[in-house]
């Protein structure tokens, strides 16, 4: 029987609303996304915040690293200048803000850098997920395999993914060792054979 693939709103609905913003996530949900992908960094005071890059570009052109900014400072940043006048107020949400505002939908949470850069980011994300009762709604993933390993060590049961740039056959052994549930692979490098290989190992694959 033909199965419809999961449709993931990558950073929400970024062609229609500012990426990784609450309006973008809500819109993705409204237009029928099966899941929402978002990116998480850690503020200087240890709060998971949702933004793709580790550096914030202010409207005056100045640049600051997220992990050098307290949450109070981050909340003051308006990223509207990045969206060509279509939006007047674009704020960086916390992960908890997103969960509270967007509600229950599948989430793919990408941790951008491991605990070696962001102390205990994996544990902090897991704590928020558990405090809101969202374990059945999340996958936590990373391209940083230290982070993937740390997530699995902290929680043997949470759904875990890993990103990879290359052919699936070269990464399968690492994926099995890290006990991941999902492989996230560049779309133009996936073949039918790759999908079968991943499925045969009991994992799922995302383009």
The pLDDT of 9-30, averaged and rounded, is 94
- Paired tokens of 80: 């509207």
Are 54 and 113 in contact by the 8 Å Cβ rule? The answer is: yes
Task: Give the per-residue pLDDT at 2.
Answer: 56
Whether the predicted pLDDT of 155 surpasses 70: yes
Distance in angstroms (rounded) separating the CA atoms of residues 44 and 41: 10
Question: To the nearest whole number, what is the mean pLDDT of the chain?
Answer: 92
Q: What average pLDDT does this structure show over 49-71?
A: 91
The better pLDDT of the pair 58, 25 is held by: 25
Residue 1: pLDDT over 70: no
- Residue range 24-34, pLDDT digits in tens: 999 999 999 99
Let me know: does 134 contact 99? Beta carbons within 8 Å: yes
pLDDT in tens, 74-99: 999 988 887 877 788 989 999 999 99
Helix (H) or strand (E) holding 110: strand 106-111
Q: Where are the alpha helices (DSSP H) in 31-108?
A: 71-76, 95-102
**Are 7 and 37 spatial neighbours (Cβ–Cβ below 8 Å)?**
no
Estimate to the nearest angstrom the gap between the alpha carbon of 163 and the chain centroid. Answer: 11
Out of 56-65, 86-95, 103-112, 188-197, least confident range: 56-65
| Spatial distance between the Cα atoms of 43 and 73, rounded to a whole number of angstroms | 9
Phi, psi of 177 (to 5 degrees): -65, -35
Torsion of CA 16, 17, 20, 24, to 10 degrees: -90
- Whether the Cβ atoms of residue 175 and residue 203 lie closer than 8 Å to each other: yes
């Amino acid at each position: 029987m033909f199965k419809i693939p999961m449709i993931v709103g990558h950073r929400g609905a970024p062609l229609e609303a500012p990426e990784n913003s609450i309006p973008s996530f809500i819109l993705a949900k409204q237009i029928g996304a099966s899941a929402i992908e978002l990116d998480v960094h850690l503020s200087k005071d240890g709060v998971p915040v949702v933004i793709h890059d580790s550096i914030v570009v202010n409207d005056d052109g100045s640049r600051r690293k997220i992990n050098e900014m307290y949450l109070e400072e981050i909340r003051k940043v308006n990223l509207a200048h990045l969206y060509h006048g279509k939006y007047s107020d674009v704020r960086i949400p916390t992960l908890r803000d997103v969960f509270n505002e967007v509600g229950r939908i599948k989430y793919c949470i990408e941790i951008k850098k491991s605990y070696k850069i962001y102390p205990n980011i994996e544990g902090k994300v897991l704590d928020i997920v558990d405090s809101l009762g969202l374990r059945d709604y999340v996958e936590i993933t990373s391209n940083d395999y230290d982070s993937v390993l740390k997530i699995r060590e902290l929680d043997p049961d949470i759904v875990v993914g890993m990103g990879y740039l290359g052919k699936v056959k070269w990464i399968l052994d690492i994926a099995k060792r890290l006990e991941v549930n999902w492989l996230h692979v560049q779309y133009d490098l996936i073949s039918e054979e790759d999908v079968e290989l991943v499925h045969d190992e009991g994992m799922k694959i995302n383009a």
